Amino acid sequence: MKMIADFHTHTIFSDGELVPAELIRRAIHSGIEAVAITDHADFSNIELNLSNIKKICEKINLLYENNNKFKVLPGVEITHVPPALIKGAVNLARKSGAQVVVVHGETLSEPVEKGTNLAALNEDIDILAHPGLITEKEAKLAKENGIYLELSYRKGHCLANGHIAGTAKKFGAGLIISSDAHSPSDILDETKYNNVGLGAGLTKEELNKIKENAMTLLRKYKIA
């Protein structure tokens, strides 16, 4: 089975424009079958964000549990946390109930501290978001630790998608396509999703593999 899933989205609990319910509704309308809500967080708000996000996730999943129509996962995007502190932030997120842990990687469009990618890839995370000019060493580590590297739909972050895809393929690291949605216009549909992968130089077969990766991630947390 292949599916369209988006494991990197934002709501009003960080810098997104939508309450979680509207984000979920718009995702369902666009044909997305699973979403993780992963608002920006550090030690100041990880627990608060997850305590709120888990409430809507529980209700939506209960609503749809009999027809398997849609799944929503509580998550977090650990953002601009110094590399030496990422381990503690990841552990706190897991303790607070995050099913999907994303770390804000060394994107070309923001001054993320050097060493963030490497620190994140050594921890219990699911996705390294928009990792920019990821190195071969980092791609190998992602492969070894089963961490997905993100191809991003978001402006600015998407600039390195071709490099990320090529480096990941060279070393067999898994890829995930995400919207990094902050507004209604960011929400993926199947065409946007496919264009991110094809625009990064992937074949249709490689794009299908990314869709399979989404199912693998859902099974990891016994969601699918």
What's the CATH code of the domain at 19?
3.20.20.140
The pLDDT value given to residue 69: 77
Question: What is the total count of domains within the chain?
Answer: 1
| Contact call for residues 90 and 78 (beta carbons, < 8 A) | yes
**Residue ranges of the alpha helices (H) in the chain?**
20-30, 46-64, 86-95, 116-121, 136-145, 161-171, 190-199, 204-220
The pLDDT value given to residue 192: 97
How far apart are alpha carbons 81 and 139 in whole angstroms?
Answer: 21
The domain of 191 spans 5-220
The pLDDT value given to residue 198: 97
The pLDDT value given to residue 190: 95
Q: What is the β-pairing status of strands 71-78 and 127-129?
A: unpaired
Tokens standing for residue 92: 């706190």
pLDDT in tens, the chain (224 residues): 467 999 999 999 999 999 999 999 999 999 999 999 999 999 999 999 999 999 999 999 999 887 677 999 999 999 999 999 999 999 999 999 999 999 999 999 999 999 999 999 999 999 999 999 999 999 999 999 999 999 999 999 999 999 999 999 999 999 999 999 999 999 999 999 999 999 999 999 999 999 999 999 988 876 66
| Helix then strand then coil, % of the chain, to nearest 5 | 45, 15, 35
| Contact call for residues 49 and 39 (beta carbons, < 8 A) | yes
CA 174 to centroid of chain Cα atoms = 13
